[in-house]
Structure 1
Amino acid sequence: MAGTPSEPRVLRYLDHLRHEKRLADRTLTAYADALARLQSAAEALPLALADVQPHHVRRWMAEAHAGGLGPRSLALLLSAWRGFYAWWGRHGRTLGEPALAQNPVQGVRAPKAGRPLPKALSVDQAVALAEQVPDALHPALSARDGCLVELLYGGGLRVAELVGLDLRPNDRAGAGWIDLDDATAHVLGKGRKRRSVPLGPPALAAVRAWLACRGELARPDEPALFVTRHGTRLSTSQVRTRLRAIGQQAGLPVPVHPHMLRHSFASHLLQSSGDLRAVQELLGHASIRTTQVYTRLDFQHLAQVYDAAHPRAKKK
């Protein structure tokens, strides 16, 4: 923490944020700390806040970065400082202040935050999850849960695409369906774009096993492929809850969520095929850049194998 701001202009700006902008207390605290840091940095030179120049701001950003602040924290500092000087420029004359020549923060940008790698299961973990017989209150629910895992991992479906599946094609918005004869899942993805995903024998067997007992739970007029024990369409939150429980039953060391299985599908497929374009099509990514994150995952996997197995990677 940089202390409490005491400069009158800064205090008036914080009052403006509190009473006119009605910022939340937590946000106000963060802005107050950021502006106290600005005030301290200027006083250390010494320098009046009105005389701060862009090169001062860049220097302070570099010092804050070297001191351990990450891109998000730096961006918050810049946002607070930029907003303060913009407010000062608009309201300075009404407060009897001289006009500011420029906003010294306007052209300064924080470094981009690194995009975190998606978490994926190892192949062994994914297989253990898929082979786990889900513990459920009803045999039909166990068959349903096994089918959920197979479609998420075996087809790379998004959870919304999964719960949007119906028994058969229809005109309902967002509906998808599975063609068992063609071994294909037809889904409606982001941007209302339809795509078809091939399904392997384990996924098809799981669908058939679920369909054989779905009628024990589903209401007669329910079009959804996946239903709850009350017979209505399964929700995304219910899928997440069931998947976490199945992961625990399988003894996996990490909490399992639907998107983790989609990531696992993509990274395992890329490791085996190396075909980035095919993975893009199967995932339904509009841009190849979105899919390229899995090349980083693949390299990370290869690096781990190298570190564990190659004689030259061993430390003496």
Structure 2
Amino acid sequence: MKNESVNPLPSSLQAPLNRFYEFLRSEKGLSLHTQRNYKQQLETMGEHLCQMGLRQWQQVDAAWVRQLASKGMRDGMKASSLATRLSSLRSFFDFLILRGELSANPAKGVSAPRKKRPLPKNLDVDEISQLLEVDDNDPLAIRDRAMMELMYGAGLRLAELVAIDVRDVNFGAEEIRVIGKGDKERVAPFSGQAKEWVAKWMKFRSDFAKNDEPALFVSKLGARISHRNVQKRMSEWGQKQAVASHISPHKLRHSFATHMLESSNNLRAVQELLGHENISTTQIYTHLDFQHLAQAYDQAHPRAHKKPKES
């Protein structure tokens, strides 16, 4: 692949690159596609270094590498392309270390930003109401509505919902103890219709649960309900209630976060309620006292208030 630079690199930068390209061809066994990508990225970085006034690869330190990565981001590079850029630079510096031309790799501690995973589309409040208006006195239907109300009402992860034991539920304090990622414990607000439907399910739970089963939600076989069973039941309820969107546990959690943010504009409270270490790459985790969280929840969540009694 020819160097497409308008101004060729000085020999002090180009000669080590040429030795590296030969090393890739003869010893590393990389695909031709990868070799071309590495060469393109390294030539581009060589040009940037010239613009910065550097004439030796040995002059590059971690700060310079971060500047190169930042320039790539400012130029609109995709995360995958930036990862290739940094990978090629790390490999090149490893080669220089192997040749005794460099003592340490300044690119080792610099990482490309992670690719953003698209979040599922949230349900709007009308769709949530349509899903949760389950008018069925069957005990398992009551269990299913309790699970959906709780997942949407407290923004729980699927694993957190399934792991709840009866002893974790405090009806008097309107709190539920939740074990999140990394076995980190938090207390989730628990009121309104979520509390109402969990209480209804508790009246039937003993008819299904085995004597020594601690789980709040059990299957018809008497044991703790499985992740797959919850996913299947929620999907079926979405179809039965004629909700246009596909229903999944994570979509209910995402809807909780979206509706809370829209109603409260309290990013930190929602971060805490969801059990997130960071709600974004720039948001530092901030601990808020539970009373503050409970007030934000009660004021903002569309299903936190009990329905008025019909006359």
In the superposition, the TM-score normalised over structure 1's length comes to 0.62
Bigger mean CA offset, 122-131 vs 272-281 = 272-281
Residue of structure 1 aligned with 2:241, choices 250, 260, 263: 250
Runs of 5+ consecutive residues of structure 2 not aligned to the other structure: 3-19, 48-54, 287-311
In the TM superposition, what are the counterparts of 1:279-298 in structure 2 within 5 Å?
279-286=270-277, 289=283
In the TM superposition, what are the counterparts of 1:189-268 in structure 2 within 5 Å?
189-268=180-259
| Deviation, structure 1 residue 241 | 3.0
Bigger mean CA offset, 142-151 vs 118-127 = 118-127
Q: Confirm or deny: 8 A CA contact 2:38 2:88 kept in the other structure.
A: no
In the superposition, the TM-score normalised over structure 2's length comes to 0.63
CA–CA distance in structure 2, aligned partners of residues 291 and 118 of structure 1? 20
The one-letter code matched in structure 1 to 2:179 is L
Q: Confirm or deny: 8 A CA contact 2:146 2:197 kept in the other structure.
A: yes
Query: Residue by residue, what CA displacement relative to the aligned partner does 1:222-265 show, whole Å, maximum 9, x if unpaired?
Result: 11111122211122333233323323333344433323222221
* Residue 159, structure 1, aligned to residue 149, structure 2: no
In the TM superposition, what are the counterparts of 1:55-94 in structure 2 within 5 Å?
70-86=78-94, 88-92=95-99
CA–CA distance in structure 1, aligned partners of residues 116 and 256 of structure 2? 20
| Deviation, structure 1 residue 52 | 8.9
Residue of structure 2 aligned with 1:14, choices 9, 28, 39: 28
Note closer, same or farther for the CA distance 1:287–1:10 as it changes in structure 2 (3 Å cut): closer
The one-letter code matched in structure 2 to 1:267 is T
Q: Confirm or deny: 8 A CA contact 1:74 1:110 kept in the other structure.
A: no
Note closer, same or farther for the CA distance 1:37–1:191 as it changes in structure 2 (3 Å cut): closer
Note closer, same or farther for the CA distance 1:273–1:64 as it changes in structure 2 (3 Å cut): closer
Runs of 5+ consecutive residues of structure 1 not aligned to the other structure: 16-27, 93-98, 170-176, 293-316
Note closer, same or farther for the CA distance 1:59–1:207 as it changes in structure 2 (3 Å cut): closer
* Residue 33, structure 1, aligned to residue 38, structure 2: no
Number of the residue aligned with 1:302: none
Residue of structure 1 aligned with 2:175, choices 164, 167, 184: 184
CA–CA distance in structure 1, aligned partners of residues 113 and 82 of structure 2? 10
Q: Confirm or deny: 8 A CA contact 1:52 1:104 kept in the other structure.
A: no
Note closer, same or farther for the CA distance 1:64–1:117 as it changes in structure 2 (3 Å cut): closer
Note closer, same or farther for the CA distance 1:115–1:75 as it changes in structure 2 (3 Å cut): same
Note closer, same or farther for the CA distance 1:203–1:12 as it changes in structure 2 (3 Å cut): same
CA–CA distance in structure 2, aligned partners of residues 268 and 208 of structure 1? 24
| Deviation, structure 1 residue 65 | 9.0
Aligned to 1:215, the other structure's residue is in SS state: helix
Aligned residue pair count? 254
In the TM superposition, what are the counterparts of 1:98-109 in structure 2 within 5 Å?
99-100=100-101, 106=107
**CA RMSD after TM alignment:** 4.4
Q: Confirm or deny: 8 A CA contact 2:93 2:102 kept in the other structure.
A: no
The one-letter code matched in structure 2 to 1:34 is T
Note closer, same or farther for the CA distance 1:39–1:140 as it changes in structure 2 (3 Å cut): same
CA–CA distance in structure 1, aligned partners of residues 263 and 252 of structure 2? 16
| Deviation, structure 1 residue 146 | 1.1
Number of the residue aligned with 2:289: none
CA–CA distance in structure 1, aligned partners of residues 104 and 72 of structure 2? 20
The one-letter code matched in structure 2 to 1:131 is E
Query: Residue by residue, what CA displacement relative to the aligned partner does 1:75-119 show, whole Å, maximum 9, x if unpaired?
Result: 134214422441x23444xxxxxx545899838967635745643
